[in-house]
Amino acid sequence: MTATDEVLQRHGLTREEYQRILEMLGREPTITELGIFSVMWSEHCSYKSSRVHLKTLPTTGKRVLQGPGENAGAVDIGDGLAAVFKIESHNHPSFIEPYQGAATGVGGIIRDIFTMGARPIALLNSLRFGPLDDPIVRRTFAGVVAGIAGYGNSIGIPTVGGEIAFDESYTGNPLVNVFCLGISKADEIIKGVASGSGNAVYYVGAKTGRDGIHGATMASAEFDEKSAEKRPAVQVGDPFMEKLLLEACLEVMQTDALVGIQDMGAAGLTCSTCEMGSRGGAGVEIDVAMVPQRESGMTPYEIMLSESQERMLLVVKRGREAEVERIFDKWDLHAVHIGEVTADGRMRVKDHGAVVADIPTQALTDEAPLYKRPMAQPAYLADAQQLSLASLGAPPPASTVFRQLLASPGIASKRWVYRQYDHMVRTNTLVVPGMGAGVVRIKETRRALALSVDGNGRFVYLDPFLGAQLAVAEAARNVACAGGLPIGATNCLNFGNPERPEIMWQFARAVEGIGAACRALDIPITGGNVSLYNETDGKAILPTPVLGVVGLIEDASTVIRRTFRNDGDAVMLLGDGAEELGGSEYLKVVHGLVKGLPPKLDLAREAALQRVLVKGVATGLIRSAHDCAEGGFGVTLAESCFDTGLGAVVDVPAVEGAVASFADIATLFGESASRVVVSVDSARTAELEALATESDVPVDVIGRVGGSRIRIAIDGREVIDEPLADAERVWAGAIDHYFESRRAIA
Amino acid sequence: MKFAVVVFPGSNCDHDAYHAAKHVLGQDAVFVWHKETSLQGADAIILPGGFAHGDYLRTGAIARFSPIMPEVKRFADARGPVLGICNGFQVLLEAGLLPGAMLRNRSVKFQCEHVIVKVEHTDTPFTSACRPGQLLRIPIAHGEGNYYAEPAVVERLEKNRQVIFRYTTSEGAVTPEANPNGSVNNIAGLCSENRNVVGLMPHPERACELAVGSADGLAVLVSAVKSVTEGIFPAKAVAVAR
């Protein structure tokens, strides 16, 4: 067929890309082939804009068992076990249909993990929404949370942590990033390869329907007012089917009858077929007539592009088919033999025996287009980085700001959210959501894993290189606060339209920042996901790289939480601050500004701080640890008290460099990096002082745990004195308030 | 003694019940696939939490038709100890082994959190090691745990002392605020007329180790061991099952 401009546009292909297809095939493509190229060469599947940058990330290390390129990454955690993990976005579908979009996002990442032969044991999520006073945002927010809960709870994988932030830029483009971690035997990791000519190709799981056709190309375009019309491109999840697939696949993997396996996620049967063939250096031949179909009259084009959920593609050793079929049968799943592995390196699709597509697998994968897109420093940057505190007039009193920040949805308790997630199933959860990094124990070993997902879009907006470094540092610091040694990371890079040079610049600088921080902190990136075109009506989201970090805890019994434990313990501050209100929650909440420069980050200092934390927790010296992030020291101290019934009395030195009128605000609510509030036995403060000093980490005893108030003085002058119960009520009820009060009115 | 944990395809607390029985309590435990027809000579049966068949219809509605269920019924009729936790409780209701039904939570949301339940009576195989009135801090994790029965049925349950667990405040007071899901009379768990079949919405198996937040649930499983080994719950059940 000769493609008209209109046909190419509908397939998201440029005229140049079409020329390339003609050259690769040596003829014009069939409509099925055009569809296949369109999804495989979409940004979502090909990473055509991002790959040149991603290649610069550090991906190796002594613990890395599997780096990027497979369904998920894997690191060695000792005892012959591997942690298999990845983060993935489902942003675009979640805007169009919040519940199903988020639910299928959870389903997709779980499949990526068990496909590697690992049993999934923990989920986390990183979410971004517009402000909650917008009723449409509330609907999206409630729908996304319910969707995550509906899928994760049903399949029985606990959601043990996560983070949520709010900003106007996410109103029409929420972010739903889901992280999953599983455990497998280190030497039994399974790959998505098709090899061995003549081996059988099996299709297992849900039937193929017309849902999700062109989901991958949708995720590679901006939104506009017509986006609601794209609803048919969002799939519907069936967690029960996925539970059956999970158990059955893990059982099949116990045999050695399996050559390779891959889930049908984005680009469905197309992607799984050609990627497995490409990785194994083989070809795959299937007949779509054999594919179980939910609707009648589906064309090969539709079958190949459908993104119906809960489907897997397996390559089974010749002669072992009956054994595999028996296992799927036990789980009431129908495994259908739809084709064979071939030796010719081509993806051949037949329909009742007639060839409808015949493409070299490499053309769809390794030889997909690669763009070095033009970059330019954004025009907004110079102005946005200028912050003059003096021009803001006198700030409100510190105690007023304190309450305002505690009530800000970005800081307030997220209990309304995580109460809907089953965070305890599998009885491994040592630290539940809302208590710092999520921690799960590894049964039958002494070890545990601390998991955190973090990212601050404001910081990245103001300085992508530094902001991305801060995201790495914060996620790693959070796992270190629980006692975890950071051993691996995955990233989800959420940005706007890469065809705009300023967006591409943000992306490239952020990737450089991630690379620099990961190298300095010795944390390899083992995989991840890129989500571009996060724009609505031409306005991009805050650039939002989200880092998921895995920390290894040698002795699960030493794990600590962010909250104080004993009346009378000493409160100590590791690290020191400066006037760094740029990009802070304070500026956003009180002045409505996203301005200034993000806090500085000394990576050597950060690494030293994390070593002190890991050692201090492992030896039982540190009894609680909570890092200073959004809302700064003041909020961190309050959160260390919440849920404990214990107040605190502290006295901290004023930070230097602030204009006089902002000295208190900068001290309490500035967001300087590499600072952690810890509590220790009051008789052992000298031990922590010695440990920190020896690592060149500033340390200070600032007060003690106890009483029923939160009292903060700066250089001896009391600036906050709030009853703990009052402060906690403000913080605990802020998000509920957006839903409960409105329901009462309705 | 030997626990049998029945595994429906969508069970997801099966491993947790097995872990608590086998590794925490040190008892023998086996998984019994729902398509099997033998309870493998177990002394007590646990129907675990989860979403037995996805629960897109009513929770537990399809599980009652599983091939293992006639065996579970026979075992229960012979006064063998049967414990249904969460979805397992819902299955017992659907199978007619306990009266009543579950509605959606009053909040219309899934809720996962620790609650306090009071042990009302200790003459069941799953409360025999508890003190009357003992308060247990154990988690709930359900979307449909709002117990309902006709007023006459509730009256009969109360009169027969079949309400075994009730949601209370941390002081043991039965108040509307202490009721997480809207259950009638704050009912968290019931027993059969013969007292050997017990169902409850909270998860005792998730509260068997302090490391995961509470060990109060251990009392429920320890009770089963006590009841079976001391012969409080009759051996004839075991004979039938074997």
More confident residue, A658 or A352: A352
> Which chain A residue has the Cα nearest residue B59?
A154
**Residues in chain A, total:** 746
Q: Would you kindly state where each structural domain of chain B is located, as residue ranges? A: 2-241
Average pLDDT of the residues in A620-636: 98
Average pLDDT over chain A, rounded to an integer: 94
Per-residue pLDDT band for A746 (boundaries 50, 70, 90) equals very low
Does B141 contact A239 at a Cβ distance shorter than 8 Å? no
Asked if A513 and A601 count as a contact pair (C-beta separation under 8 A), the reply is no
**Cβ–Cβ < 8 Å for A131, A166:** yes
Which of A262-271, A338-347, A517-526, A544-553 shows the lowest per-residue confidence on average (mean pLDDT)? A262-271
Mean pLDDT for A499-505 is: 96
Both tokens of residue A444? 């039958």
The answer on pLDDT for A232 being more than 60 is: no
Residue A266 binned pLDDT confidence (cut-offs 50, 70, 90): confident
Q: Taking 80 as the threshold, does the pLDDT of residue A148 lie above it?
A: yes
Q: Residue A241: closest CA among chain B residues belongs to which residue?
A: B54
- Two structure tokens written together for A300: 């090969």
Contacts A330 to B, Cβ<8 Å: 33, 35
Instruction: List alpha helices for A522-620, DSSP H.
Output: 585-591, 603-618
Q: Does B65 touch chain A (CB under 8 A)?
A: no
The pLDDT tens digits for A432-469 are: 999 999 999 999 899 999 999 999 999 999 999 999 99
The whole-number pLDDT of residue A265 equals: 83
Q: Which two tokens stand for residue B185?
A: 């009379």
CA A506 to chain centre: 19
The pLDDT value recorded for residue A223 is: 62
Interchain contact B15–A (C-beta under 8 A): yes
Is the separation of the CB atoms in A708 and A646 below 8 Å?
no
DSSP-H helix ranges across A26-134? 31-40, 43-46, 51-54, 91-96, 98-114
pLDDT band at residue A267, thresholds of 50, 70 and 90? confident
Contact A419/B10, CB-based, under 8 Å? no
Question: Cβ of A154 and B10 within 8 Å?
Answer: yes
Residue A742 clears pLDDT 80, i.e. is over it: no
Confidence band, pLDDT 50/70/90 cuts, at residue A216: low
- Over 90: is that where the pLDDT of B234 sits? no
Q: Is the pTM of this model over 0.80?
A: yes
The C-alpha atoms of residue A85 and residue A77 are separated, in whole angstroms, by 12
Q: How confident is the model at residue B238 (pLDDT cuts 50, 70, 90)?
A: very low
> What CATH number should be reported for the domain whose range is B2-241?
3.40.50.880
- What is the reported pLDDT for B241? 43
Contact A240 B53 (CB under 8 A): yes
pLDDT > 70? residue B195 = yes
Q: Is the pLDDT of residue A229 over 80?
A: no
Minimum mean pLDDT range among A242-251, A377-386, B226-235: B226-235
The yes-or-no verdict on residue A281 having pLDDT over 70 is: yes
B86 is catalytic: yes
Question: What is the Cα–Cα distance from A332 to A506, expressed in whole angstroms?
Answer: 49
Minimal C-alpha gap between B112 and chain A (Å) = 5
Torsion of CA A426, A432, A437, A441, to 10 degrees: -30
Of B201, B119, B132, B192, whose CA–CA distance to B162 is shortest? B192
B19 in A contact zone (CB under 8 Å): yes
Instruction: Please tell me whether the interface predicted TM-score (ipTM) of this complex is above 0.90.
Output: yes
DSSP chain B: -EEEEEE-TTB-SHHHHHHIIIIIS--EEEEEETT----TT-SEEEE--B-TT--SSSTTTTGGGSTTHHHHHHHHHTT--EEEETHHHHHHHHTTSS--EEE--TTSS-EEEEEEEEE----STTTTTSPTT-EEEEEEEES--EEE--HHHHHHHHHTT-EEEEEE-TTS---STT-SS--GGGEEEEE-TTS-EEEESS-GGGSSBGGGTB-TTHHHHHHHHHHHHTTSS-HHHHHHH-
Is A441 at the interface with chain B, CB within 8 A?
yes
Q: Residue B232: which pLDDT band, with cuts at 50, 70 and 90?
A: confident
Place A658 in a pLDDT band, splitting at 50, 70 and 90: confident
Residue of A nearest to B212 (CA): A430
- Determine the Cα–Cα distance for residues B101 and A197; give it in Å rounded to an integer: 56
Chain A residues with beta carbon closer than 8 angstroms to that of B211 = 430, 441, 556-557
Cβ contacts of B15 on chain A, cutoff 8 Å:
426
pLDDT band at A226 (very low <50, low <70, confident <90, very high): low
- Which of the residues B34, B53, B71, B86 is marked catalytic? B86
Length of chain B: 242
Identify the closest residue of chain A to B33 by CA–CA distance.
A330
Residue range A113-143, pLDDT digits in tens:
999 999 999 999 999 999 999 999 999 999 9
Cα angle A162, A90, A288; round to 5? 140
Reported as half-sphere exposure (CB side, CA atoms, 13 A), residue A560 has a value of 29
What is the model's pLDDT at position B240? 45
CA distance A650 to A384: 35
The residue among B170, B212, B214 with the most chain A CBs within 10 A of its CB, best to mutate, is: B212
What residues 128-167 of chain A have any CB closer than 8 A to a CB of chain B? 146, 149-150, 153-156
pLDDT tens for residues B30-61? 999 999 999 999 999 999 999 999 888 888 88
pLDDT digits (tens, 9 = 90+) for A81-98: 999 999 999 999 999 999
Looking at the predicted structure, is the pLDDT value of residue A233 above 60?
Answer: yes
The yes-or-no verdict on residue A220 having pLDDT over 70 is no
The predicted pLDDT at position B242 comes to: 41
| pLDDT of the residue at A175 | 98
Confidence of residue A740 (pLDDT cuts 50, 70, 90): confident
Chain B residues with CB-CB distance to A421 below 8 A: 110, 112
d(CA B17, CA B3): 9
Residue A9 makes CB contacts below 8 A (sequence gap 6+) with: none
Cβ-based contacts of B23 with chain A (< 8 Å): 443
Nearest Cβ partner of B206 from A149, A424, A441? A424
Chain A residues close to B109, C-beta within 8 Å: 146, 149, 419-420
Distance CA A421, CA A148 (A): 8
**pLDDT, tens digit, 9 for 90 and up, residues A547-560:** 999 999 999 999 99
Coil, strand, or helix at residue A201? strand
> Could you tell me if A515 and A56 are in contact, meaning their C-beta atoms sit under 8 angstroms apart?
yes
Any CB–CB contact under 8 A between B112 and chain A? yes
The one-letter amino acid at A109: I
The secondary structure of residue A223, as a DSSP letter, is B
Instruction: Decide if B53 is catalytic.
Output: no
Residue A280 structure tokens: 């194994």
CB proximity under 8 Å: A 498-557 to B: 556-557
Cβ within 8 Å, pair B211-A238: no
The DSSP element (H or E) to which A29 belongs, if any, is none
For the question of residue B130 being annotated catalytic, the response is no
A321 shares contact with chain B (CB less than 8 Å)? no
Asked if B55 and A153 come within 8 Å (Cβ–Cβ), the reply is no
Please tell me if residue B34 touches chain A, with a CB cutoff of 8 Å: no
Lowest-confidence region among A264-268, A611-615, B91-95: A264-268
A-B contacts (CB, under 8 Å)? 91
pLDDT digits (tens, 9 = 90+) for A320-354: 999 999 999 999 998 999 999 999 999 999 999 99
Quote the CA–CA distance of A514 and B193 in Å, as a whole number. Answer: 64
Is the predicted pLDDT of residue A745 greater than 90, yes or no?
no
* pLDDT exceeds 50 at position A419: yes
Band (pLDDT 50/70/90 cuts) for residue A310 is: very high
Tokens of A454: 């973090």
Task: State mean pLDDT over A55-62.
Answer: 97
Query: Exactly one of B94, B120, B144, B205 is catalytic; which is it?
Result: B205
d(CA A124, CA B30): 31
